[in-house]
Chain A
Amino acid sequence: MSGESSEPLLIDIGIRGKPWKSPVVNILTLFRHRFLLRNLVRREIRGRYRNAMLGYTWAVLEPAMLASVYYFLFIMLAGNPDRLYPVWVILGVIVWSCFGKGLQATVSSLSRNGQTLHLVYFPRIIFPASAVQGNIIISLMSCLVVIPIMFIYDLPLTIYLLYVPASILLAGFLAIGLGMLVAPLNCVQRDAEHLFRFIVRAGFFLSPVMWTYEMAIERGALGEMVLFNPMVVPLTMARHGIAGENIGIPWFGVLGSLGFGIIMWVIGSYVFSRYEAGAVKHL
């Protein structure tokens, strides 16, 4: 580039954009650096299944095996579940792990990549984004399990099936906002990582993974309280999608979950942009 006719101008370096602009700027940045993003996502996915004979098959195998364990657990505890209960659990596990693993990967996205961070500067929003995108892609691969399920349980093929990938995208979106909020903090003190590992474990039981939204509603008025959990929407959406039905959650619930995601993206982006530069010094 040194042979350019227009002389490059002196520009302040190390000056970041205004943090309050970052929720929008981040999206443009991710689009501009999509080649880098794609390569980092590939590294993330390859890293997950390295040296495994079954490789990507694990993306399907893991949720299927987990679901069968929960199925037996449920029969032992509650007995006699609904015919489609195994389907609900397997989808629950897939959507939840997209959120849970995506969240944990986002929280540690800066602290894990210390080497790359010290090598060169590029907009650091790319690290959480690649962490979440990697998990979204793995979860979408897991969704292939839906095909045999539809044959086994003789489920109708409808347009609502699109809710399944949509729910994964929503779960990933919820994860990134929340994760970006603490990713800089995790560089300073790794406690954030440990705390979030607990949150993901606890959230597994507090969210409708082993149970369903309908089960909560059957318990009466208190059941609607579960709508305060933004993960109820993607989990329920995926289940209704495969059954060929509409979401089945009141509109304010859906709006609440989407709104939570957007608010977390805005706050997360702000906090991330405001503190990433300082946080990197701790690595």
Chain B
Amino acid sequence: MNSNAVEIENVTLHFPKQKGLLKSLKNLLLWKNDKFTVLRDVNINIKKGEVLGVIGKNGSGKSTLLRIISGIYPADNGTCKTAGRISLLAGLGTGFSGHQTGRENAILYGSILGHDEEEMISKLPEIIEFSELGPFIDEPVRTYSSGMKARLGLAVASAISPDILLIDEVLGVGDPQFKEKSKKRILDLVNSTSTVVLVSHSFALMTEICDRLAFIHKGKIISVGDPENIIKLYYETTGA
């Protein structure tokens, strides 16, 4: 009946400002709060089966938008509705605990991403194989290079099958061979998942796989539409 996977209506999000003692007391007395607005009246519907790309400069609110969709931040105003299981791929490997082995971290990270025990046990061999860590999987993660951590992160994160997949700049980790492999893995994931929201600065990739692009600037969605036009608009707005 409803063909939207995500419906965002008038979403506004403020972030608090870091305050010192005097400023805090003043705010307390005047009963107000210093804040800045990260997203302002964002409206967007994402259709089922659509691959939406989000572009914008650093700090324009792209990642925050994904965090709204995944439920990490609740909107201060407006509503965000989603249909189905959501998975956010961001900051791969940042949640790892260095003193545990790769295998333990894979299970931990998997459970953080919402897998249950059986699912995790059945997927573990595949995850380990994809990560190409070989015998290192039973070594503590603190001995890993950053590329190895990212590989393990991507292996776990991409083993899931959500209804809505949110990808935040996770392409381009590891050596060229793995980069190619991870791009293929994510493309496979994009193809097998019905709805995808992708944040990236790689415009070539975006035009290749996205059905629509959204251009977000200073917390507002300026325009949504055909990738080529939006990229042109991006350069016009932000300067070449």
Contact = CB atoms under 8 A, between A and B. Distances in A.
Nearest to A15: B74
B111 A35 contact: yes
A122 interface: yes
Contacts of A122: 112, 114
Contacts of B79: 12
A10 B82 contact: yes
Interface stretch (B84-92, B198-206, B222-230): B84-92
B2 interface: yes
Nearest to A121: B71
Given A8-B84, A40-B108, A282-B16, A14 B73 contact: yes
Interface residues of A, number: 36
Contact of A43 (B71, B73, B100, B115): B100
Interface string A22-61: 0000000000000110011011001100110000000000
B179 interface: no
Interface in B185-211: 192-194
A29 to B, nearest CB: 13
Interface stretch (A67-75, A90-98, A111-119, A225-233): A111-119
A1 B160 CA distance: 9
Given A14-B74, A119-B88, A2 B161 contact: yes
Nearest to B87: A120
A77 B75 CA distance: 59
A11 B84 CA distance: 8
A9 B94 contact: no
A21 interface: no
Given A39-B107, A282-B16, A10 B112 contact: no
A259 B112 CA distance: 33
B132 interface: no
A46 B103 CA distance: 14
B95 A1 contact: no
Contacts of B4: 10
Contact of B81 (A11, A39, A51): A11
28 contacts: A1-B85, A1-B163, A2-B162, A8-B83, A8-B163, A10-B2, A10-B81, A10-B83, A13-B68, A14-B80, A15-B74, A16-B74, A36-B112, A39-B107, A42-B100, A46-B104, A115-B95, A116-B95, A116-B112, A118-B72, A119-B91, A119-B94, A120-B87, A121-B70, A121-B72, A188-B16, A189-B24, A282-B16
